[in-house]
Amino acid sequence: MYNLLKGKKGIIFGALDSNSIAWKVAERAHEEGAEFVLTNAPIAMRMGTINELAEKTGSQIIPADATSMEDIENLVEKSTEILGGKIDFVLHSIGMSVNVRKGKHYTDPKYDFTTKGWDVSAVSFHKVMNVLYNKNAMNEWGSIVALTYMAAQRVFPDYNDMADNKAYLESIARSFGYFFGRDHKVRVNTISQSPTATTAGQGVKGFDGFIKYAEEMSPLGNATALECADYTISLFSDLTKKVTLQNLFHDGGFSNMGVSTKIMDHFTE
């Protein structure tokens, strides 16, 4: 590998199991010489296999519900202690819609569920940056990345209220990114990833058909979780120091397509 993250310290949110995008990011960050703390919601500790990842990457796990300021404060304090200094990179790889989970349609959600999903999927990013910014816990030229999806810009009916959550998340990246850049020289970006077969991805209704559609629509095919991890590593590295406030499409070209010959073949003989 390239030692792109040698000497860098990070916090990685959202590794649940080996399919998780955050899991691949942790493996790649480890290969590139980084040290980091892994974190996830307390319930995910029981559901997933994060211990295995911690062992493999020599990392410690600090449970934190990303909607709880208290948990995030504890996480950031302990992480700087464990890692012996300020943080260079943070991955926010968190998403969950209660309406999707409970089978509520977009046109008739339960608004308590809407609020909860928004807090977990979008506002948590603000909370994480609030703590990092106000505790002055990031090193200069650090990098913060959150994962998003193109339903923030275009209509994907089964993505439900996650579309709205992602639009909010991307806006937070720009708005908070301004202050983080101005005051701490830290960059903040979102990566808009192809559909990927993970626990969160497969929760979306019609996911199997949709992932095939995106594959046939994209000139380079869908981006895998590992490829997403590679791209994330480049954004954590010193090679992308002036990239900030961006929503970066990592989708094999899908986002700029109108139609592909493969898709057209389904409609012509």
44 scored as a contact of ligand NAD (CB under 6 A): yes
From the candidates 159, 168, 178, 213, give the one annotated as an active-site residue: 159
- Nearest approach, Cβ of 175 to ligand NAD (angstroms)? 18
| Lookup: tokens for 227 | 């490829």
Of the two residues 18 and 175, which places its CB atom closer to ligand NAD in the complex? 18
Q: Are 15 and 23 in contact (CB under 8 A)?
A: yes
Which position among 160, 189, 193, 222 is part of the footprint of ligand NAD (CB under 6 A)? 193
21 scored as a contact of ligand NAD (CB under 6 A): yes
- Nearest approach, Cβ of 198 to ligand NAD (angstroms)? 3
Known binding positions for NAD(+): 14, 20-21, 94, 166
Q: Are 86 and 135 in contact (CB under 8 A)?
A: no
| Residue nearest ligand NAD, Cβ-based | 201
* Residue 159: active-site member: yes
- Nearest approach, Cβ of 39 to ligand NAD (angstroms)? 7
Of the two residues 33 and 63, which places its CB atom closer to ligand NAD in the complex? 63
16 scored as a contact of ligand NAD (CB under 6 A): yes
- Nearest approach, Cβ of 267 to ligand NAD (angstroms)? 26
Which position among 57, 93, 99, 189 is part of the footprint of ligand NAD (CB under 6 A)? 93
C-alpha closest to that of 150 among 234, 248, 225: 248
C-alpha closest to that of 89 among 60, 43, 128: 128
* Residue 149: active-site member: yes
- Site for ligand NAD, rule CB under 6 A: 13-14, 16, 20-22, 40-41, 44, 65-67, 93-96, 120, 147-149, 193, 195-196, 198-201
- Just list the catalytic residues: 149, 159
